[in-house]
């Protein structure tokens, strides 16, 4: 233990020393007692005085506030000029100029407040050293030396200390009261030391808290700056992050189907149909080389947008026909079946004028009627258990038409008839290809179909292809583009070409195998190649305008005109047919009492391969 001041006095002369010391230092005794007595420590051999320490803590707090204001002004000016010139007998020129000026002003104010706290702790230690010679117990000559040392000490400490010795004569040294006072003073001094230390720790805590606040404020300001920068820069990064956090699986179609196909495939890439190699050419060349040719791949890629439109329409067709197979049952009217099918098609294809919609009316020909029947308003025909119903409907995206058909039966006795026609259609698809002659496809179809027989009510029938019904090429907004694919031998020797689209369809019958026009006409289509024809009847002119606006060169039916709110249009429609502007397509029927079936697919003759784009799990 270190001692800054040591004053040793033998036990025998302690009282004498105190009396002399107090008589000299009467005036300052209270000061000494208050300042030093707490430091005295009595032991068995002497008195010790402990160090006296003062601690000063200074805390300085500086607050700086910085305000930054940024103003950004963006001005966008858009000028649109439209010039329309119409030339008839008179020339009218209209010029419309639209100028739009948009001014956006963004003001951002940033206020930064920084608080700095500095804590300074100063510790002062006062040391009092008292030294003297030993006093002998019998009053030996060492006593004058002690007194001389005391006098020198008194001169160093100051003349005032000698004034208050008389008052201290009243106190008795070593009494219990003095001991209690000393103990209280020691405790008070220790409390002060603890308080000083606590002050230091509190100052440290304040510094730590202020530092944390500054750090948090800095982080918040950075976040605000980042948010503002993100707002000014279209927030693309933030959106991407949100998308990543909210990853969801692919959407599922509702039941009944109502979600558009484009929403089910938001990336705009739709399922590819069945891809097949082309058949080997007659000169022995391997058509598989097309799939490895770099040139063909480039050509195929160049038309990817067109192929994708076909695939979107085909996916809508697949989902709608699956829905139709689920709800069709005996006892339903044909109008109800067609309307439910067409409503679902419009939703899935997301009908949009001539850009997307139905390609032609829903065919639901029954039994001996092979094609082109759809009910007109007021038709009360009901589907029966023994009926054979051909469902033929089309969808399109940007005029890229999917023509696909299938046959529905409820009585299993017709299974062989359906199997024969399905097999014949697949045969036609296998034989179709670039540079293949159309007559060769028809010959292969006939051979397969006629190999089937069907037994109905104890009588056996050979399944016959309907010779005057054919497949056909498909163009944009044109269901029949000019080429026909026969289903019997002896057809045209014209070849299929790269990039063409075909509807490969076959019809099988238990009757004569020939169809004729019968029943009321329901299908109509504007002549694709018709030029300008003068029209006298005002109602016919109005009807033609409606047809051009809503259907263009796509097929339509009378129910669709009713749906648009048209009325009393039959005379006008007949006038358009008589002028050759619109062509009627009446139902095509075989002999009464016979049964006919149909299967059809759309095939893309791509440069690299043949794609059966409408192929599904059902057929």
The residue from 505, 566, 590, 611 that is catalytic is 505
Q: Please, which residues bridge with residue 404 across strands?
A: 393
Q: Please, which residues bridge with residue 357 across strands?
A: 396
Q: Which residues of 247-284 are buried (b: 16+ CB within 10 A; e: fewer)?
A: eeeeeeeeeebeebbbebbeeeebeebeebebbeeeee
**Rounded to whole angstroms, how far apart are CA atoms 528 and 312?**
25
Residue pair 436/465 in contact (Cβ under 8 Å)? The answer is no
The residue from 108, 114, 480, 542 that is catalytic is 480
**Rounded to whole angstroms, how far apart are CA atoms 427 and 448?**
7
Residue 55, SS3? strand
Q: For residue 66, what is the DSSP state?
A: E
**Rounded to whole angstroms, how far apart are CA atoms 189 and 316?**
93
Active site residue 275: no
Active site residue 392: yes
66 annotated binding-site participant: no
| Cβ partners under 8 Å of residue 522, min gap 6 | 361, 372, 373, 374, 375, 376, 557, 558, 559, 586, 587
392 annotated binding-site participant: yes
Assigned token pair, 454: 């069907």
Closest CA to 349 of 373, 314, 384: 314
The residue from 168, 300, 315, 403 that is catalytic is 403
| Cβ partners under 8 Å of residue 523, min gap 6 | 360, 361, 363, 372, 374, 555, 556, 557, 584, 585, 586
Q: Please, which residues bridge with residue 114 across strands?
A: 64
Cβ count near 150 (within 10 Å): 17
**Rounded to whole angstroms, how far apart are CA atoms 598 and 314?**
18
Rounded to 5°, the CA angle 605-610-615 comes to 110
Q: Would you give the distance in Å from CA 453 to the centre of its chain?
A: 55
Active site residue 403: yes
Q: Which residues of 165-184 are buried (b: 16+ CB within 10 A; e: fewer)?
A: beebeeeeeeeeeeeeebee
The residue from 28, 309, 315, 392 that is catalytic is 392
403 annotated binding-site participant: yes
Residue 242, SS3? helix
68 annotated binding-site participant: no
Runs of H (alpha helix) within 236-333: 236-245, 261-264, 294-302, 304-327
Residue pair 95/83 in contact (Cβ under 8 Å)? The answer is yes
CA distances from 66 to 62, 109, 113, 228, 451 (A): 13, 10, 6, 18, 94
Residue 525, SS3? strand
Report how many helices (DSSP H) and strands (DSSP E) the chain contains, helices first. Answer: 14, 23
Residue pair 348/323 in contact (Cβ under 8 Å)? The answer is no
| Residue position matching structure tokens 């990336």 | 267
Active site residue 472: yes
Closest CA to 351 of 599, 524, 563: 563
The residue from 323, 368, 396, 472 that is catalytic is 472
505 annotated binding-site participant: yes
CA distances from 13 to 166, 337, 358 (A): 19, 131, 129
Cβ count near 610 (within 10 Å): 26
Annotated binding residues, as ranges?
A: 372, 392, 403, 472, 480, 505, 600
The catalytic residues are 392, 403, 472, 480, 505, 600
Annotated binding residues for substrate, as ranges?
A: 372, 480
């Amino acid at each position: 233990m270190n001692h800054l001041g040591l004053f040793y006095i033998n036990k025998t002369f302690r009282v004498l020393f105190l009396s002399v010391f107090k008589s000299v230092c009467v005036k300052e005794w209270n000061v000494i007692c208050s300042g030093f007595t707490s430091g005295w420590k009595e032991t068995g051999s002497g008195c010790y005085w402990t160090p006296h320490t003062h601690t000063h803590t200074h805390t300085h707090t500086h607050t700086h506030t910085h305000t930054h204001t940024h103003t950004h002004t963006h001005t966008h000016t858009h000028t649109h000029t439209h010039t329309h010139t119409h030339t008839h007998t008179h020339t009218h020129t209209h010029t419309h100029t639209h100028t739009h000026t948009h001014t956006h002003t963004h003001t951002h104010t940033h206020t930064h407040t920084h608080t700095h706290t500095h804590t300074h702790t100063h510790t002062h230690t006062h040391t009092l050293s008292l030294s003297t010679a030993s006093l002998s117990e019998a009053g030996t000559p060492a006593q004058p030396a002690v007194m001389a040392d005391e006098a020198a000490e008194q001169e160093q400490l100051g003349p005032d200390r000698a004034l208050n010795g008389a008052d201290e004569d009243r106190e008795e040294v070593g009494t219990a009261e003095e001991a209690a006072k000393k103990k209280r003073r020691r405790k008070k001094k220790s409390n002060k030391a603890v308080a000083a230390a606590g002050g230091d720790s509190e100052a440290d805590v304040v510094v730590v808290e202020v530092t944390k606040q500054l750090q948090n404020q800095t982080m918040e300001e950075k976040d605000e700056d980042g948010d503002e920068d993100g707002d000014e820069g279209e927030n693309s990064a933030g959106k991407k992050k949100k998308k990543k956090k909210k990853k969801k699986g692919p959407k599922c179609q509702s039941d009944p189907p109502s979600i558009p196909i484009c929403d089910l495939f938001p990336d705009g890439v739709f399922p590819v149909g069945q891809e097949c190699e082309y058949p080997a050419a007659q000169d022995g060349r391997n058509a598989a080389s097309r799939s490895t040719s770099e040139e063909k791949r480039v050509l195929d890629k160049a038309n990817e947008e067109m192929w994708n439109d076909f695939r979107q329409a085909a996916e809508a067709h697949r989902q709608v026909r699956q829905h139709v197979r689920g709800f069709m049952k005996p006892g339903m009217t044909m109008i109800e079946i067609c309307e439910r099918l067409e409503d679902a098609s419009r939703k899935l294809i997301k009908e949009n004028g001539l850009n997307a919609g139905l390609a032609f009316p829903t065919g639901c020909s029954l039994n001996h009627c092979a094609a082109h029947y759809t009910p007109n308003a007021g038709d009360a025909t009901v589907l029966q258990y023994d009926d054979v119903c051909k469902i033929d409907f089309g969808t399109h995206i940007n005029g890229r038409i999917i023509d696909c058909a299938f046959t529905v039966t409820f009585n299993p006795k017709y299974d062989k008839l359906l199997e024969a026609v399905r097999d014949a259609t697949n045969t036609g698809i296998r034989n179709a290809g670039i540079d293949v002659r159309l007559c060769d496809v028809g010959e292969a179809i006939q051979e397969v179909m006629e190999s089937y027989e069907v037994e109905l009510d104890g009588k056996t029938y050979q399944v016959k292809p309907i010779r005057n019904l054919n497949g056909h090429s498909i163009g944009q907004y044109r269901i029949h583009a000019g080429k026909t694919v026969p289903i019997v031998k002896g057809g045209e020797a014209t070849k299929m070409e790269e990039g063409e689209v075909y509807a490969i369809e076959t019809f099988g019958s238990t009757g004569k195998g020939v169809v004729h026009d019968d029943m009321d006409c329901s299908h109509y289509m504007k002549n694709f190649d018709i030029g300008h024809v003068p029209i006298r009847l005002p109602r016919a002119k109005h009807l033609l305008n409606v047809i051009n606006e809503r259907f263009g060169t796509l097929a339509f039916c009378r129910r669709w005109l009713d749906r648009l709110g048209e009325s009393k249009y039959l005379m006008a429609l007949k006038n358009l047919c008589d002028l050759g502007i619109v062509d009627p397509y009446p139902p095509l029927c075989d002999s009464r009492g016979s049964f006919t079936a149909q299967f059809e697919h759309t095939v893309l003759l791509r440069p690299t391969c043949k794609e059966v784009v409408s192929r599904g799990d059902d057929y």
